[in-house]
Each structure stands twice: as C-alpha cells, then as structure tokens.
A and B are shown apart, each in its own frame.
Chain A
Amino acid sequence: MFKQIAVVSGKGGTGKTTVTAALTHLFKNNIPVDCDVDASNLFLLFNPKTEKQYDYYGGKKAYIDINKCSSCGLCAEICRFDAVNINSGEYSVDSYSCEGCGYCVIRCPEKAIELSESRSGEYYISYKEGRFIHGELEPGEETSGGLIAAIRKKAIESADKTDYIIIDGSPGIGCPATSSITGVSYVLIVSEPTLSGFHDLIRIMETTEQFRRKYSVVINKYDINTEITEKIEKYCSDKNIKITGKIPFDKTVMKAVQESNSIINYNSPASEAIKKLYKNITEEIK
C-alpha cells in the first residue's frame, strides 16, 4: 500500500514547490501530484508530456432567461451571495459570485432561472520517467477544493504499483489547503523565519492538528533570521512537534528554478540539507 505525503506552507513563497520537487527525486517509486491548482508550479518544474486530459465540472451556475424575466427583483433580494446584478433594468447572474445553490430558481415566479453545469477547470495525467498528475483551475473559479479532490482520486487510481504519492499542496488554511491534506499519511509544513512566516505557520499547524494528521516542520532559509528560527524551534518543541530539516539560504535554489531543474541535481548547501530532511522523514513515516 502506498503512503501519501502532503507538503503545505500556510504562507506562500516559503519554498514548498522546491522542497516537494526535491522529495520526488529522493523518494523511490512515487507519483508527484500538484494540488496548487491556482498556481501549478511543480508542473512547470517537471515539464512532463500530457497523456490524458479531463474536464472538471465543479458545480452549477444560475442563468436568467431575460425573455421570461419580469424584473420583479425577488432573486436579487433573496440571494445570499450578492450574485444577481441589475444593469439598466436588466437582471443577470454574476457567475463569479454565484455558488449554484438554486434558491433563485426555486423562488422565481416566472420560472425564468435555470441552473446549468459549469466547467471550472481541468486536470491531467502526464508522463516523464513516471506519472505526474496536476490540475488547473479556471481563473476566478471557486471550487478548487473539489478539483483537488478529483486530482487526488486520479492519483490514487494510478497508484497501484506505487510506494508514495507526494502532494504539492495549496497555500493558506482554507478549502484548497485542507483538501490537500485530508486523509494523507503525513504532512510536511515548510516555513521561513520571518514574522509573517511564523504567524502563518501557527495557523497552518492548528489547521493540520484539526485534521489529526501526523506532521513535522522544515525551516527554509533558516539563516536569514536566526532569532526567529530559534523562536520557531522553541514553539515547535513546546508542542512536541519535530523540526525535520533546516535549509540554508542558497542562491543555487533560484538558479535551479530558472533552469527548471531540481535543486537535488546541484552540489550545494540547500541540496545537502534537503537530503538530510528526506532521511528524517523516512524515519518518521516508517
């Protein structure tokens, strides 16, 4: 049976994708899964060849038939998502705000409103040395959690002879982040020693605990502020949470990203630290 490892961060830009990419090079026999559907950067690093594409229909949206609409305004009044617009007397649904609940459909006295399926993204199985799975949300759509669930299901279906599924999660603490960690065997939180990084780390730790996942923390660029690094270490040790790695600031990381390559393929301090991190995680998930 395979294990699922999710890499998340709370704050964006802490090095989540760099760490994920490196781990997929170090763990044998894994499927990398890019769940950051707003910003699918792991895919850019891998640049695999697409084998199969699937459309994702995340939900429904309401549409008003203006030929039937009597402009009574009831829909705008009752909608709890402020999704009905009035433009020079004409009513229409703002599809960005509509959550597809159908309340207006039920209430419209003229039966002028319908719900219809809306395509809100796509997901792919690609290939490069092994399988790679990722998705892209249509800009502005709301159902990223559902798309992430669809991507992870596809990964599990493809994982019959796989030992690990390694997930590059979404930033934040909302539904994209929690959809990335729900049900996984292990969560790795990537943090950085800045005041905002520390603040965001505390929120993602609480979120991970609410989902009752086993997890540890890695401090990236730990040497840019050793004082905050010590604070993070103390905070984690008070809560009995392991720091499984400390990665130094290393310009080679930026170079690797610009060359669309993994940091593991360079001889550098960050690369060495990530190899240590990998060893520690394998101990943790035994």
Chain B
Amino acid sequence: MKLVVLSGKGGVGKTLVSVNLTNVLSEFGKIVHLDCDVEEPNSNIFLKRKIDFTENVDIQIPYADSSKCTKCGLCSENCQFGAISVFKTGTVVFESLCHGCGVCSYICPEKAIKEKSKTIGNISFGEKDNIIFGEGVLKIGEPSGVKVIRKLKNKYPDSDIIITDAPPGASCSVVETLKGADYALVITESTPFGLHDMKAVLEIALKMNIKTGVVINRYDENYKETENYLRAENIEIISKIPFIKEIAEIYSVGGLISSKKEYRKIFLEIAEKTGVLKCLNK
C-alpha cells in the first residue's frame, strides 16, 4: 500500500503526521518512508537515518558546436520554451529555461547540437530498524523538482508499505508524488486558510481516483466549516489532533511525539483507519 501525506497549505503538520505514522508502523514491520518535499525536505530531521548512499539526478541539456552550426535557426523556431537563440556570434542555450526535452538536438540538420548532463539534485537513502528512508533534494536555483521526485519513487516501486511526505501546494510536483498512490491522507488545520488549500488537493486526488481521508490538526471545535464541508462531500475524517503546546515543543527540536504513549495512539488510530496497518499485518 502506498500512502501519501499531503496538505495544500504548508506548515499544517504534514511532516509531523508522516514521520510519526512511519515511526509507529515500523513497530510492526518494514516501512519505506520517502520525503518527496524536495524543495524543503525535513523528514530526516525527525527520523535521523544515517545516509548509506546518494545518487545524482541529472537531466540532458543541449549545447551547440559552433564549428558545425550554420545558424539556420531551426532549433530556436522549434523550441517551445524560448531556451535556445541564434545570434550573429553563435547559438546560445539558456539553461534555466531549458526543459531538456531533446527537440533541438533532434531537429538540427547539421547535428551541431549535442547534449550534456546537468545535475539538478540528488536522492539519498539510509536504512535502520525497519525503516528504509529515502529523500530527494533539489539543488538551489533549479526551477522544478518533478524529476527528482520521479527518480526517488522509482527506487522502491514495489515495496509493500510506502509512506510518502508530499510537497505543499497543489501543482505538478504534488501530482507527480501522488501518481500510483493508493491513499491520499490530507492534513489541514481549523482555519479558513487550511480549508481553502485542502479543497485544491482533494480535487486533485479525486481527479486521480485516489481514496482520501483527512486529518484536522490543531483542531478547534469552534471552527465548524471544515467538518461541515467534509461531511457534505462525504470525505472521512481520520483524526482530530488538538493544539497542544507540548506537541509543538517536541516538534521544534526534531523529536517524535509518537514515542510518548498518549500521542502514539493518535497514529495507531490513523494506521488502522486508513487500512495501512491491516496491509502490513498481512
């Protein structure tokens, strides 16, 4: 079973839930935990796995061989991203705009455009005590983490239980993270912001035909709108976690709240209600 923890709005408790869920599940069997929030990966601050190996994530980007280039301009005409231009002095690739699609090197009649590797990030792994931890890191200045996420996920495609920490927001990197998931666990908080941003990710999960459930973190019983919305949409509320100062304190120093008995039961309940525990016990 592949369960993805996501949130729309940042800072509502996505990493808190994913790492503690993994921690509790690892008492029962082997868990793969993937941190797909490649712009700001934080899971390992809590899971503290020593990294055993790291691999670079590369894309192929073009460069022009000026001795062969006839400045015909076909490359620039066919590039959809404005990433290659022909000047009097020669043909120039703007690397930050280039998607590495391969159009220009294919279309060049002189075979003057070749490709080279460019590292946009890396993925790394560490294993200890029933947790296989993997994370992707996007290099600073790179625009998109989609390829890093894809490579990270392809490393353990067929593991029994995979818990994934998704990026915030509701754009392409969230979709990439959700591909192939069996369950989307959406975290929100009792505010109009949390409600608004939750709706966007629920819409994506619905379109992708993925089963969903919601955790309301920093639950405030005076704010009824989230529950009213979920009831109307027939979406299951998996857990309500109240605001407790101690949770914030343990989180702030990189601790796992599920190491304490009173909080462990929150995540055990999440594991049961989402079906992931049953899957693990099979």
Residues of A within 8 A of B81 (CB): 101
Known A-B contacts A80-B100, A102-B103, A206-B140; A260 and B80 likewise in contact (beta carbons under 8 Å) = no
**Neighbouring A residues of B146 by C-beta, 8 Å:** 142
Q: Is B2 an interface residue (CB 8 A)?
A: no
Interface residues in A57-86 by Cβ distance below 8 A to B read 59-60, 78, 80-82
B141 and A200 within 8 A (CB) = no
Whether the pair B150, A39 counts as a contact (CB closer than 8 A) is: no
User: Would you list 7 pairs from A and B whose C-beta atoms are within 8 A, ordered by A residue?
Assistant: A11-B11, A106-B107, A139-B170, A145-B143, A196-B45, A257-B193, A258-B192
Closest to A39 in B: B197
Bound together, the chains give a CA A195 to CA B251 distance in angstroms of: 8
Check B40–A199 contact: CB distance below 8 A.
Answer: yes
B152 contacts A by Cβ under 8 Å? no
In angstroms, Cα B144 to Cα A178, docked, is 11
Query: Beta-carbon contacts of A160-191 to B below 8 Å, as 1s and 0s?
Result: 00000000001111111110000000000000
CB pair B175 A106 closer than 8 Å: no
Additional A-B contact list (14), CB under 8 Å, known A97-B175, A173-B40: A41-B192, A103-B101, A103-B103, A137-B171, A140-B207, A172-B39, A173-B138, A174-B143, A174-B144, A177-B39, A195-B45, A196-B45, A224-B249, A225-B252
Complex-state Cα separation, A79 to B78, whole angstroms? 16
> If A12-B10, A140-B204, A258-B223 touch, does A172 touch B102 (CB 8 Å cutoff)?
no
- A140's partner among B39, B138, B175, B254 (CB-CB below 8 A) is B175
Tell whether B142 is near chain A: CB-to-CB under 8 Å: yes
* Complex-state Cα separation, A176 to B146, whole angstroms: 13
- Contact A13-B170, Cβ < 8 Å, known A38-B200, A102-B78, A194-B252: no
B140 contacts A173, C-beta separation under 8 Å: yes
B117 within 8 Å of A (CB atoms): no
Say yes or no: B140 contacts A141, CB within 8 Å: no
Please, which residues of chain A bring their CB within 8 A of the CB of B107?
Answer: 106
Q: Does B33 contact A (CB under 8 A)?
A: no
A200:B171 contact, CB within 8 angstroms: no
Contact A142 B252 (CB under 8 A): no
Among A145, A172, A174, A196, max chain B CB count under 10 A is at A174
| Residues in chain A near residue B9, CB distance under 8 A | 12-13, 39, 41
A-facing mask of B94-106, CB < 8 A → 1, else 0?
0000011111001
B257 within 8 A of A: no
Task: Report whether B141 and A101 are in contact in the complex, using a CB–CB cutoff of 8 Å.
Answer: no
Query: Whole-angstrom distance from the CB of B247 to the nearest CB of chain A?
Result: 11
Contact A14 B145 (CB under 8 A): no
B192 nearest CB across to chain A (Å): 5
* Max chain B C-beta neighbours (<10 A), residue from A176, A193, A196, A225: A196
B140 contact set on A, CB distance < 8 A = 173, 203, 206-207, 210
CB of A281 closer than 8 Å to a CB of B: no
B103 and A101 within 8 A (CB): yes
Q: Decide if A174 touches B248 in the complex (CB within 8 Å).
A: no
Q: How far is the CB of B123 from chain A (nearest CB, A)?
A: 16
CB contacts (< 8 Å) of A258 on chain B: these are 190-192, 220, 222-223
Which A residues are in CB contact (< 8 Å) with B168? 12, 38-39, 171-172
B contact residues vs A (CB 8 Å cutoff):
8-12, 15, 39-40, 42, 45, 60, 78, 80-81, 99-103, 106-107, 138, 140-146, 150, 167-176, 190-193, 196-197, 200-201, 203-204, 207, 220, 222-223, 248-249, 251-254
**CB-defined contacts of A260 to chain B, threshold 8 Å:** 192
Which residue of B is nearest A102, CB measured? B80
A39 and B196 within 8 A (CB): yes
Which of B9, B99, B169, B176 has the most A CB atoms < 10 Å from its CB? Answer: B169
Q: Is A266 among interface residues, defined by CB-CB distance under 8 A?
A: no
Minimal beta-carbon separation of A92 from chain B (angstroms): 15
Contact B171 A176 (CB under 8 A): yes
Contact between B252 and A195, CB atoms less than 8 A apart? yes
- B196 contacts A41, CB within 8 Å? yes
B234 to chain A, nearest CB (A): 19
| B144 close to A140 (CB less than 8 A) | no
Interface check A216, CB cutoff 8 A: no
| C-alpha gap A207/B176 in the complex (Å) | 24
Residues from chain A with a CB closer than 8 A to the CB of B196 are 39-41, 44
Contact for A207 among B42, B106, B141, B170, CB less than 8 A? B141
Other-chain residue from B12, B138, B173, B175 in contact with A13 (beta carbon distance below 8 A): B12
Measured between beta carbons, the chain A residues less than 8 angstroms from B201 are 139
The answer to whether A39 and B169 touch (CB under 8 A), given A139-B204, A174-B145, is: yes
Q: With A and B bound together, what is the CA distance between A27 and B278 in angstroms?
A: 55
**A271 at interface, CB cutoff 8 A:** no
Q: Mark A128-144, 1 if CB is under 8 A from B, else 0.
A: 00000000010111101
Asked if A100 is at the interface (CB within 8 A of a chain B CB), the reply is yes
For B145, give the chain A residue with the smallest CB separation: A174
| Distance in Å: Cβ of A141 to nearest Cβ of chain B | 6
Of all chain B residues, the one with the shortest Cβ separation from A193 is B252
Q: How far is the CA of A284 from the CA of B190 in the complex (A)?
A: 36
Chain A residue nearest to B168 (CB atoms) is A12
Cα distance A207–B142 when bound, in Å? 10
